[in-house]
């Protein structure tokens, strides 16, 4: 469950920038009860409120030949300063022809409270071709 405003600070043909703040109620169930943050040890379920601070958008660069997209958010938990997560996504899209494009996306995420032996950071790099069907 989440609620909050989003403001589109910039919107034109070359760029979009969105900012958002919201409140989230979250419940997560775990298969283990030993965490990297000992105050959560023994719990199979963690329920808490988080705020979300979000920035996202896209921009065309190099004479509109390359589209750069981005999303970043930070989610601190209320009353649990060590329980937060953040994620950054950066994407590139380069058109190759009508509807066809080369796409690449890098994702970095950090979860500060994890089950023991699980990494806090994760990174993913994907790339490939995309095709968009457009009716005119």
CATH of the domain at 8: 2.40.160.40
Strand pairing category for 45-61 and 66-77? antiparallel
- Whether 127 and 104 have beta carbons less than 8 Å apart is answered as yes
Does any domain span residue 73?
yes
What's the CA gap between 41 and 32, in Å, rounded?
A: 9
Q: What percent of the chain has pLDDT over 90?
A: 83
Residue 124 covered by a domain: yes
pLDDT of residue 109: 98
Kindly state the percentage of the chain with pLDDT values over 70.
97
Query: Are 82 and 1 in contact, with CB atoms under 8 Å apart?
Result: no
125 located within any domain: yes
What pLDDT does 98 receive?
Answer: 87
11: in domain: yes
Classify residue 136: in a domain, yes or no: no
Determine if the pTM surpasses 0.75: yes
Residue 135 — pLDDT band, cuts 50, 70, 90? low
Tokens found for residue 2: 């989440």
Tell me which residue range forms the domain holding 101. Answer: 2-131
Count: domains in the chain = 1
Report d(CA 34, CA 40) in Å as an integer.
7
> Residue 2's pLDDT band (boundaries 50, 70, 90)?
low
- How would residue 136 be classed by pLDDT, with cut points 50, 70 and 90? low
Please write the tens of the pLDDT for every residue from 100-117.
999 999 999 999 999 999
Are 24 and 2 spatial neighbours (Cβ–Cβ below 8 Å)?
Answer: yes
Residue 54 belongs to some domain of the structure: yes
């Amino acid at each position: 469950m989440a609620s909050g405003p989003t403001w589109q600070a910039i919107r034109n043909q070359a760029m979009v920038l969105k900012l958002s703040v919201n409140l989230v109620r979250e419940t997560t169930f775990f298969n283990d009860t030993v965490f990297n943050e000992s105050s959560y040890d023994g719990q199979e379920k963690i329920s808490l409120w988080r705020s979300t601070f979000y920035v996202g958008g896209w921009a065309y660069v190099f004479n509109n030949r390359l589209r750069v997209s981005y999303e970043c958010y930070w989610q601190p938990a209320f009353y649990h300063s060590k329980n937060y997560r953040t994620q950054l996504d950066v994407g590139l899209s380069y058109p190759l022809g009508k509807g066809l494009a080369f796409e690449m996306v890098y994702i970095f995420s950090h979860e500060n409270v994890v089950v023991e032996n699980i990494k806090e950071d994760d990174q993913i790099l994907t790339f490939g071709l995309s095709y968009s069907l457009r009716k005119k």
